[in-house]
Structures are given as structure tokens and as C-alpha cells.
Amino acid sequence: MQQSKRHSSFPIHIAVFLAPAVLLYSLFMVIPLVNSLRLSFFEISSQNQLSFSGLQNYIKLFTDSNFAPFFWRALKNNFVFFAVHMLVQNPIGLLLAALLAAGGRIRNFFRTVLFMPTVLSVVIIGFVWQLILNPLWGVAEGMLTAVGLGEWFGPWLGKPETALVTVALISVWQFVGIPMILFYAALIGIPDELTEAAHVDGASAWDIFWRIKFPLILPTVGIVSVLTFVGNFNAFDLIYTMKGANAGPDFATDIMGTLFYRTFFGQQLQLGNPTMGATVAAMMFLIILTGVLLYMFLWARRVQTYEM
Amino acid sequence: MKSTPLYRLQQFLGKSIPIIILTIYSLIALFPIVMILMNSFKAKNAIFGAPFQFPTSETFSLIGYDTVIQRATFSTYFLNSSIVTFTALILTLFIGAMAAFALAEYDFRGNALVALYLSLGIMIPIRLGTVGILRLMVSLKLVNTLTGLILIYVAQSLPMTIFILSQFMRQVPKDLKDAARIDGASEYRIFGMVLPLVRPAIGAIGIFTMIPIWNDLWFPLILAPSAKTATVTLGVQQFLGQWVSDWNAVLSSLTLAMIPILVVYLIFSKQMIGSITAGAVK
């Protein structure tokens, strides 16, 4: 009875509830995104006229000497950036989460402190670390000397070999709070009954963690990895703040985000090109999509989610 | 056996090692922030001569703050950031709550499809559509306006807000709503009734929506870079670019930019972190 009434005409109040969100989201996010993807198949003339050019922009991006070296380097740098986060940020996040999850009141204090850098703007963090690492101020050098590692210090941000990893580690320092809090939420969700028996049998905390708890939080490991992957393509702010749009020294810190910005808006000598910019964005879109799909089909399907 | 010295040593280490590691990492997390805050209140000699010391009566100086307040239009930046963040936040929460309510409450045809469509935006960064967004803003004459920024931030924040809020709205007991329906309340009245019941969730989502908007550099840089519409994040970025050599001014403008977010964070950190872990604690 109710069914026939609901199906005959779409209830007006549902439309009223949904309309503002669907409209705003479509108009300012989905349609511009689709339009950007579409523009990557067009060429723009000096009179601002668009003409269809098929896959020309993509061929240019992969082979033209004005674009290809930059594109491949930015892509490689993005993967280095991602690898540093996977190898440093997420393991530290897991370690901190495991220590926090052990309980106790003082740990709430640690939780608040450890998450603090995450809420600050990337721009602020970028400048803060530029000052800390500045040899002129000598704070980082002073700290390293105090623990006997003074000789290690160098102008890390200025050298092409170390700049990218240094910037990536600064990003790790800022965002370690995110994997930490997600792992923490997963760990405290594990019921005590599951670990009690192992405790009674005399298993060490180390064994309990790796044999019982870690397998239970594997779904969170997957989510954290995907978030890390997608987040990398948003890393523009930090590099732009610390190294400018040219991602110096000598493009050593150039990632897809800065490449996109430069291609779209131009730089000192080169004019901006919206359709090539759209092509870079479309490549980022494809890479993100591939990552998310791989996660959904290869990881999320195989990893068992336990009902706890 | 349980009282052997070895066992007690193990117990002691088991309790203290985690605290030691957490303390060390907390120092790593706090140290750069503290260095900036501390040195912003010192004269230039002391910033370089004794960077690790707290300001004393001899080294205390507010000269950096004087420069910043005179030279930079920080009050404009703060006003712009506040208007953009606050308006985008209110719109996101209200519009998002409406859509979340529709998805959670009614079993209409296409519900799953609309939910999927809206949640696509959780994984895809809105920045990838920047070329299209800028063209749209040019044609709407919204470049260099706060309105343009607000609309983009609402669109960006809606997917996550709707996704989380609809989960919370599903938990509101049915009896309550059915009783109101029998009393003849309209569906809009029922929405108004449900809203206060999910207030804690709205609060937490609010903070998580607010922080990325306040901190964003990309869209202010691209859509509203004019001096009149610059936000704090963009303003600080541009101001610091020009003043690299004036350390007092740099340190104090960084401090001024950090304080509001840190204050908001310290007030709401319990709710914020609590909301992420809420699903887990039973």
C-alpha cells in the first residue's frame, strides 16, 4: 500500500532534501571535473578557440621534450614521496597507536600533543621547517650537535639529492597523526576477550600484537594506504611554500601537483596552457583511480573483515 | 615466581618504555612549534645568539609583532578566512544534513545510486577539476570573490559530511519519528527534530570540515589571489615570501597564524579525536 504510493510519484520532500547538495556538488565539483577531463582532448589557440585534437595532448605529455622529462620526473618523485610516507609515516603511526592503545590517562595527553602538527596549515609547517633547517639560524645543527650527530647536518633542502626526501619527511612529521589516530581507533576496538586467552597462556605483548591484533586491523592498514596514496597528489601546498612553483633545486622536488600548477598557469618564460594542464590533471585522475581500484579489488576483497 | 626481580624489572620496563617513546616523539612533534612561538618574543640578537632559551626580561621584544601589525593587512586576512570558513561550514552542515537525512530516512528508488554518486567525491581530490572550476568561475564572474571560494569548499566538503552524517542518522530510533508522524508532523518538522539528536556528530564533522578550509592554499591562490580576498594562509605565504630576511616579523607572523587553529584544536581536541574513535569504543 505504502509502496504504490511512494513509487507512483517521487515524494517532493525527498527532492527538497536532496536538491541543494546534489546541485552544488554537481555544479562545482563533478561538472568541472568532467569538463577538465574533456579539455584534455582539445587544443586551445591563441584566440582562446578550442579545437578537438584527440590524444595529441597525451602524446605530447609523454614524448615532447618540453613536457615528457618533467612529467616522468614528477611521476617518479611522487612515488618517492609516497614510498617515504609508506615506509616512515605509517609504521611510526602504527607504533604510536599501539603505545597509545595500551591505555592510561596520561596517554590522552600524548594523543592531543601528537596530533597537533596535523591541524596546522601546511604553509605554516613549511615555513617553520625552513627556519629550523636554515643553517643561518643553526637550530637543527645545534640539536644534532647536542646528541653527537652534528656532522650529519647539511643544507638538506638546498641539495638536489636530499631535498625531496627532506620535504617528504617534513610532510611525514606533520601528518603522522592521521595513521596514528586511525590505527588507534582500530586497536581500541579489539575486544579484550580476544587477547585474554593469549595473555593467560603467557604470550608476550609483541606476539599478541603481531599474531592477534595486527591481522584484525588489516582493513585499516588498507584504508591508511589508500589515503596516503591519494594524499600524495594533494602535496602541492608544502612544495610550493618551501620550494616555489619551480620545485627547486633544479626541479628536484617537482611532483604532479607542482607540475600541474606550472603547466596550467605557466612559469617565467613559458605561458600557461589550460588544455595541457587538464591533461596533467587527467593523468593524476587516472593514477588515483588505478590506485583506488587496485585497493578495492586486490586488497579489500581478500582481507577479511572481522565482525567485532 | 611472580615476585622475582626479573619479573618486576620486566613489569617496570613494560610500563615505562612506552611512556619514554611517547615522550620522545612528543618532543619531536612540539619542538619546531615551540621554537617559533618562543623566539617570536625575542630581540634579533637573542633569536640567533640563544635560540633555545625562553625569552627573559633582557631578550624580550615585541618588535616583530609591531612590524607585522603595521605592514601586513592581517586583520583583512583574518576576516576573509573567518567569513569563508564560517559560511562554508554552516552551508555544508545544513545542506549535508538535509541530504544525509533523505538518504538515511527514506527508502526511495535510486537511493543507493545517489549515495554512491555523492560519495565519489570522498576519494577524488576536487583539485583535479581546477581547470574546469576556474573556467566556470570566470564565466560566473566569481573570480576574486569570497563567494567563489565558499561554493567550492561546500562542494568539496559535502561528500564526507553526507557519508558520515547519514550513518549517524540511521541510528536515531524509529519510534520517535513515527510518533511525531502520527501526531501529524510534516517531514520537514521531523528533520528539525532529528537534527539536535545528532548534534555531537555534527560538531565533530564541523571541526574536520573547518580545518582544511582554513588551511587551504590552492584555491585562494588560484581563485581569489587579490589583496582584498586573500585568506590567512595565502596572506602568510605571500607576506613571508617578501620578508624572508626580517626574522622577527617572520616568526611573529607564523605565531599569529598558528594561534587561532591551536586554540580551536585544544578546545575541541577531545570531541575531535573522540568522534573518530567513537565507533570503536563499546
ipTM confidence score: 0.87
Segment B79-92 mean pLDDT: 95
Sequence-separated (6 or more) residues with CB below 8 Å from residue A179: A89, A90, A93, A94, A97, A224, A228
Mean pLDDT along residues A18-30: 96
Q: Which single residue is written with the C-alpha cell 612515488?
A: A79
Q: Which pLDDT score is estimated for A22? A: 96
H-helix or E-strand containing B127? none
Asked whether the CA dihedral A179, B272, B19, A209 is positive or negative, the reply is negative
Count of other CB atoms within 10 angstroms of residue A286: 11
pTM equals: 0.88
String of b and e for A27-46 (b: at least 16 CB within 10 Å)?
Answer: ebbbebbebbbbbbbbbbee
CA distance B124 to chain A (A): 8
CA distance A286 to A279: 10
B129/A36 touch (CB, cutoff 8 Å), yes or no: yes
> How many Å apart are CA A129 and CA A170, to the nearest integer?
7
Averaged pLDDT for residues B131-145: 94
Give the mean pLDDT of chain A.
Answer: 87
Amino acid type, B279 = G
Instruction: Report if residue B172 sits inside a domain.
Output: yes
Interface of B with A in 165-184 (CB under 8 A): none
Minimum mean pLDDT range among A133-137, A251-255, B150-154, B239-243: B239-243
The predicted structure's pLDDT at residue A3: 43
Dihedral, A282, A287, A289, A294 alpha carbons, nearest 10 = 160
Residue B21 lies in a domain: no
Residue B10: inside a domain: no
Coil, strand, or helix at residue B113? helix
CATH for B162 = 1.10.3720.10
pLDDT higher than 80, residue B274: no
pLDDT at B152 over 80: yes
d(CA B138, CA B136): 5
Inter-chain CB proximity A120 and B281 less than 8 Å: no
Question: Which residue do the cell numbers 618533467 mark?
Answer: A70
Place of cell 585562494: B220
- Asked if the structure places residue B74 within a domain, the reply is yes
DSSP assignments along chain A, one per residue: -HHHHHHHS--HHHHHHHHHHHHHHIIIIIHHHHHHHHHTTEEE-TTS-EEE-TTHHHHHHHH-TTTHHHHHHHHHHHHHHHHHIIIIIHHHHHHHHHHHHT--SHHHHHHHHHHHHHHS-HHHHHHHHHHHH-TTT-HHHHHHHHTT-GGG---TTTSHHHHHHHHHHHHHHHHTHHHHHHHHHHHHTS-THHHHHHHHTT--HHHIIIIIIHHHTHHHHHHHHHHHHHHHTTTHHHHHHHHTTTTSSTTTT--HHHHHHHHHHB-SSSBP-HHHHHHHHHHHHHHHHHHHHHIIIIITTTSPPPP-
Q: Work out the percent of chain B whose per-residue pLDDT is above 90.
A: 39
Least confident interval from A148-157, A252-261, B34-43, B142-151: A148-157
CA distance A142 to A130: 15
Residue B120 domain-assigned (yes or no): yes
Query: What's chain B's average pLDDT?
Result: 87
- Using 50, 70 and 90 to split pLDDT, how confident is the model at A304? low
| pLDDT beyond 80 at B133 | yes
Tell me whether residue B93 is exposed, middle or buried, using C-beta atoms within 10 angstroms of its C-beta: 0 to 12, 13 to 18, 19 or more: buried
pLDDT at B282: 36
Supply the pLDDT for residue B151: 97
Q: Considering only residues A28 and A243, tell me which one the structure prediction assigns the higher pLDDT.
A: A28
Residues A90, A150 contacting (CB under 8 angstroms) = no
What total number of domains does chain B contain?
1
What is each CA distance from B51 to A173, B32, B59, B136, B146, in whole angstroms?
A: 21, 12, 11, 49, 40
**Is A6 an interface residue toward B (CB < 8 Å)?**
yes
Q: How many whole angstroms separate alpha carbon B42 and alpha carbon A211? A: 52
Question: Does the structure show a pLDDT above 90 at B73?
Answer: no
- Name the band, by pLDDT with cuts 50, 70 and 90, for residue A203: confident
Query: How close B168 comes to chain A (CA, Å)?
Result: 17
Residue A143 pLDDT > 90: no
| Angle at which helices A256-265 and A68-84 cross, to 10° | 150
Q: Given a cut of 80, is residue B242 above it in pLDDT? A: no
In this structure, the number of other CB atoms found within 10 A of the CB of residue B129 comes to 26
How large is the average pLDDT for residues B62-71?
81
Q: Which residues pair with B42 in a beta bridge?
A: B60
Q: At what angle do helices B5-39 and A106-119 cross, to 10 degrees?
A: 40
Q: How confident is the model at residue B72 (pLDDT cuts 50, 70, 90)?
A: low
How does pLDDT run across A39-49, given as a tens digit for each residue? 999 998 877 78
Res A283 pLDDT > 50:
yes
d(CA A117, CA B205): 19
Q: Phi/psi at A235 (nearest 5 deg)?
A: -75, 15
Residue position matching grid coordinates 605592514: B71
| B1: pLDDT strictly greater than 70 | no
Reduced to 3 states (helix: H, G, I; strand: E, B; else coil), residue B86 is helix
Partners of residue B24 in chain A, C-beta under 8 Å: none
Q: Looking at the predicted structure, is the pLDDT value of residue B222 above 60?
A: yes
The H-or-E segment that residue B102 falls in is helix B74-105
- A286 at interface of B, judged by CB pairs closer than 8 A: no
Quick one: DSSP state of residue B4? S
Q: Nearest Cβ partner of A14 from B102, B117, B236? A: B102
The reported pLDDT for the residue numbered B281 is: 43
Interface of A with B in 140-179 (CB under 8 A): 142-143, 173
C-alpha cell belonging to residue A307: 565482525
Q: How confident is the model at residue A1 (pLDDT cuts 50, 70, 90)?
A: very low
Q: Which domains does chain A have, with CATH numbers?
A: 59-100+107-117+175-299 (1.10.3720.10)
pLDDT confidence of residue B280: 46
Q: How confident is the model at residue A58 (pLDDT cuts 50, 70, 90)?
A: very high
Looking at residue A96, its pLDDT comes to: 94
- In A, residues 27-86, which contact B (CB 8 Å cutoff)? 27-36, 39
Q: Would you state the pLDDT for residue B45? A: 79
Query: Which of helix, strand or coil describes residue B43?
Result: coil
Q: Nearest-CA distance from B17 to chain A in Å? A: 9
Q: What is the mean pLDDT of residues A157-179?
A: 92
Tens digits of residue pLDDT in B156-177: 999 999 998 998 888 888 888 8
Note whether A172 and A88 are within 8 A (CB). Answer: yes
Per mean pLDDT, which of A32-46, A186-200, B242-256 is the most reliable?
A32-46
Predicted confidence (pLDDT) at residue A172 exceeds the cutoff of 90: yes
Distance CA A13, CA B105 (A): 12
The answer to whether residue B142 sits within a structural domain is yes
Confidence check: pLDDT of B277 > 70 = no
**Domain, as residue range, for B84:** 67-278
Helix (H, G, I), strand (E, B) or coil at B144: coil
Chain B residues whose CB is inside 8 A of the A184 CB are 277
Distance, in angstroms, between A161 CA and closest chain B CA? Answer: 24
- Confidence at residue A307, expressed as pLDDT on a 0 to 100 scale: 56
Question: Would B256 be classed as within a structural domain?
Answer: yes
B62 in any annotated domain: no
- Interface probe with B: pick from A3, A4, A9, A18, most Cβ of B within 10 Å: A18
Give residue for cell 597537533. Answer: A116
Buried b (16+ CB within 10 A) or exposed e, A177-192: bbbbbbbbbbbbbbee
Which residues are CB-neighbours of A53 under 8 A, at least 6 positions away? A41, A42, A43
pLDDT given at position A4: 41
Q: Could A96 and B32 be called an inter-chain contact, meaning their C-beta atoms sit closer than 8 Å?
A: no
Asked if the model's pLDDT at residue B235 lies above 80, the reply is: yes
How confident is the model over B29-45, as a mean pLDDT?
88
